[in-house]
Structure 1
Amino acid sequence: MKLYIYEHCPFCARARMIFGLKHIPVEQHILLSDDSKSPTNMIGEKMVPILQKDDGSYMPESLDIVDYIDSNYGDKPILTGDRSAKIAKLITQINQYDYRLECPRYIKMNLAEFATQSAIDDFTTSKAQKMGSFADCLAQTETLASFVANLLNELEPLIISPDACNGRLSLDDICLFPVLRNLTCVKNLMFPVKIKSYLQSMSEQSKVNLFFDKAI
């Protein structure tokens, strides 16, 4: 199987996680951010992640990929834990701020999807239409990071175990870890102890890297 991704994409991280958690081999291919031809040829639109199955067919949509792999590979499904409405709400609240913190940093982190200037320019133009200039977003770092830090403090008591946020692996881990993982690219953002332990444990389990070493 092959998985087409961007390294920075939280939805791609979801798909990557299930392969790591279940120890299922997959070839990962990172597309350039401005490559619209490849995904369009596969699924008819510019979207990642895309899974190429063993039969050669393509599957988009991160949670569909997660469900497909969890249901059909390995001894049995592993995402069997309960879900938390409180965690889902906090993910939504963090998403109000995180892209403005992260997107201006992604293009400075030597990620493969931004290996060309045209890919950087395309991403910058596209995101600026939605969130304002990257320079303005960077200038708001302190304020945005403060909002996120408060939400992380609310989240910390909800983390039951570093190995699974609700005590047993669930879709909440698939949705939560990528959001927290991307925040590790913000250099001065402080993570509560339990959340940092969760990040490190989940990264090791899923084989999805964190960005602490690239933080800006």
Structure 2
Amino acid sequence: MKLHVYDHCPFCLRARVALGLKGLPFELVFQANDDEATPIGMIGKKMLPILEDEDGYMGESLDIVAKVDGLSGARVFDAAPRQALVDWIERTGGPVGKLVTPRTPDAVYPEFRTESARAYFTRKKEANIGPFAPLIARADEYRAEMEQALAELVPILPDAEGASMEDVLLFPVLRSLSIVPDLKLPPAVEAYRDRIAERAGIPLVNDLRSQAA
């Protein structure tokens, strides 16, 4: 079983969290961000994650989560997440994107090891959200907004020793934020993020930089 991903992609992280928390063996395959032909050849569109197994190819992160949930042991990702957590994720989408997106085309991620891949991402995203430079210039403002939101997350954190759809949805947000320098997480949020990263086998960005050094 193979999972084709971009390392920065929160939707890809959903599938990785599910596989990791279920303890299922799989091969992780990183695709270059500017490689359109490979995913289109698999599922007809440039979109990851893609699960490759004996049944063929499957896209859509939550479909993959549902499939792998049924491969071993009791199902753990069936229950709906709490609305308060869903609301928090939706509410913070703006500041997360403003902090994370302009920093994303970074060679610390395998999909951005080439200049052409970084340029491809930048061109596509800037066409949708505008130039990255003004977002970087307002980083202090967005960081303060995000830190307030992270404080509000503390009372509704999932159990880091459990496994649920809440982990599938929340951890990718927190892991994406690990590329933002000087972002202060409340201790409880940091502990949750680090524990899920450990259990799912997904290194944070600082770990990636240490491995590359």
Same fold, TM-score > 0.5, yes or no: yes
Name 1:12's counterpart in structure 2. Answer: 12
Aligned partners of 2:108 and 2:202: how far apart in 1?
Answer: 17
Aligned partners of 1:160 and 1:135: how far apart in 2?
Answer: 35
Q: What SS does the aligned partner of 2:35 have?
A: coil
Name 1:108's counterpart in structure 2. Answer: 106
Aligned partners of 2:33 and 2:125: how far apart in 1?
Answer: 12
Question: Counterpart amino acid of 1:103?
Answer: T
**Deviation readout 1:149-194 (Å, 9 max, x if unpaired):** 1111111111253324xxxx22111000100111111111100111
| Structure 1 consecutive aligned stretches of length 4 or more whose deviation exceeds 6 Å | none
| Percent of aligned pairs with the same amino acid | 35
2:169 aligns with one of 166, 175, 180: 175
Q: What SS does the aligned partner of 1:97 have?
A: helix
Name 2:63's counterpart in structure 1. Answer: 64
Name 2:54's counterpart in structure 1. Answer: 54
Taking structure 2 as the reference length, the TM-score comes to 0.93
1:3 aligns with 2:15: no
Matched-pair contact (CA < 8 Å) for 2:2–2:52: yes
Report the CA distance between 1:139 and its aligned residue.
0.7
Taking structure 1 as the reference length, the TM-score comes to 0.91
Question: Counterpart amino acid of 1:39?
Answer: P
Question: Counterpart amino acid of 2:47?
Answer: M
Q: RMSD value over aligned CA atoms? A: 1.6
Name 1:94's counterpart in structure 2. Answer: 92
1:187 aligns with 2:185: no
Name 1:34's counterpart in structure 2. Answer: 34
**Deviation readout 1:60-87 (Å, 9 max, x if unpaired):** 000000000002x112212355621111
**Deviation readout 1:109-148 (Å, 9 max, x if unpaired):** 4211011111111100111112221111111111111111
1:141 aligns with one of 139, 142, 149: 139
**Deviation readout 1:79-112 (Å, 9 max, x if unpaired):** 3556211110110111112122112222234211
The farther-off stretch of 33-42 and 125-134 is: 125-134
Matched-pair contact (CA < 8 Å) for 1:34–1:118: yes
Matched-pair contact (CA < 8 Å) for 1:51–1:59: yes
Aligned partners of 1:3 and 1:28: how far apart in 2?
Answer: 5
Name 2:43's counterpart in structure 1. Answer: 43
Matched-pair contact (CA < 8 Å) for 2:79–2:164: yes
Name 1:131's counterpart in structure 2. Answer: 129
Where do 5+ consecutive residues of structure 1 fail to align?
Answer: none
Aligned partners of 1:162 and 1:76: how far apart in 2?
Answer: 18
Question: Counterpart amino acid of 2:92?
Answer: I
Query: Residues 200 and 70 of structure 1: is their aligned pair in 2 closer, same or farther, counting only changes over 3 Å?
Result: same
Name 1:208's counterpart in structure 2. Answer: 202
Question: Counterpart amino acid of 2:18?
Answer: I
Q: What SS does the aligned partner of 2:94 have?
A: coil
Question: Counterpart amino acid of 2:74?
Answer: K
The farther-off stretch of 199-208 and 129-138 is: 129-138
Aligned partners of 1:58 and 1:160: how far apart in 2?
Answer: 31
